[in-house]
């Protein structure tokens, strides 16, 4: 009898089992919530890092290209004297429908497009171009934002005899805004202005415009998890959060702005 009671005393009662199971459920729920929060923070961190990488890559590329922009005064004279001269493409900033003709593609209203020729050394990889497979030391570069997929496209060609018709590839994703303001040295006061710029055009004094002294580039980005909250307002020509959403609903949206000097020799 004593041995039987000892065996029964070493077992668990139903109440003890229920208490243990409840404790395990509580601990499991807490761990699941902690893991979920940690995963969410990690996803936001990765998305934020991607946004900063897009912005940094854009500004690094523009700094290099504008610093290497070919002497646009000479290029402007060449184009003026012989419009078919393929030596260089003028520096252009488009804020109007002129971009549609340039790229053969629609450009989102409220955003700008820019093209220039820069001293970039590389190999032409576009089949059918006059310089395909050859190494060149000047490239035609263009940037524009498409209206339906929130993508900033970049075009680069070492064949200066052709334009950017229907070409380009994704350079940055989830782009809400892209604007280029030129430091207009030909007007008083000298300040950054959002304007169409053509380096081959002449100012009132008859001097060719050439490159602006500097450009101010503004780009606003978000991540793929929040881009669906945005819509384009055709009246204000800008991206806005859809009705019912506030900036707190998209903590990832970031605006980056940088002034980039050109190397134009006046």
Q: pLDDT, tens digit, for every residue of 34-68? A: 766 667 667 778 888 889 999 999 999 999 998 88
For residue 237, pLDDT over 90 is answered with: no
d(CA 183, CA 169) in angstroms, rounded, equals: 28
Q: Residue range 81-88: average pLDDT?
A: 50
* Cβ–Cβ under 8 Å, residues 161 and 201: no
Write down the residue that tokens 């929130």 correspond to. 150
pLDDT given at position 80: 47
| Residue 1 Cα distances to 8, 10, 200, angstroms | 11, 15, 110
More confidently predicted of 2 and 260: 260
* Cβ–Cβ under 8 Å, residues 222 and 230: yes
> What is the helix (H) or strand (E) element at residue 64, kind and residue range?
helix 14-67
| pLDDT tens, position by position, 158-211 | 777 666 666 678 899 999 999 999 998 888 899 999 999 988 888 888 888 888
């Amino acid at each position: 009898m004593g041995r039987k009671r000892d065996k029964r005393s070493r077992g668990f009662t139903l109440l003890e089992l229920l208490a243990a199971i409840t404790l395990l459920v509580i601990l499991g729920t807490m761990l699941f919530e902690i893991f979920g929060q940690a995963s969410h923070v990690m996803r936001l961190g990765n998305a934020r890092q991607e946004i900063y990488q897009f912005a940094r890559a854009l500004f690094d590329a523009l700094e290099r290209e504008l610093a290497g922009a070919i002497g646009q005064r000479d290029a402007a004279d060449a184009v003026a004297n012989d419009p078919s001269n393929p030596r260089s493409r003028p520096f252009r900033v488009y804020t109007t429908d002129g971009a549609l003709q340039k790229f053969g593609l629609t450009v989102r209203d409220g955003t700008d497009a820019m093209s220039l020729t820069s001293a970039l050394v590389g190999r032409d990889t576009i089949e059918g171009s006059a310089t395909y497979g050859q190494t060149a030391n000047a490239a035609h570069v263009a940037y524009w934002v498409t209206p339906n997929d929130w993508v900033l496209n970049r075009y680069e060609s070492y064949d200066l005899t052709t334009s950017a018709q229907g070409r380009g590839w994704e350079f940055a994703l989830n782009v809400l805004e892209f604007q280029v303001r030129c430091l207009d040295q030909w007007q008083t006061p000298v300040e950054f202005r959002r304007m169409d710029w053509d380096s081959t055009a002449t100012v009132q004094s008859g001097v060719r415009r050439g490159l602006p002294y500097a450009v101010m580039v503004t780009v606003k980005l978000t991540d793929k998890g929040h881009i669906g909250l945005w819509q384009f307002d055709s009246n204000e020509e800008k991206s806005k959060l859809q009705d019912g959403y506030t900036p707190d609903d998209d903590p990832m949206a970031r605006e980056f702005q940088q002034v980039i000097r050109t190397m134009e020799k006046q």
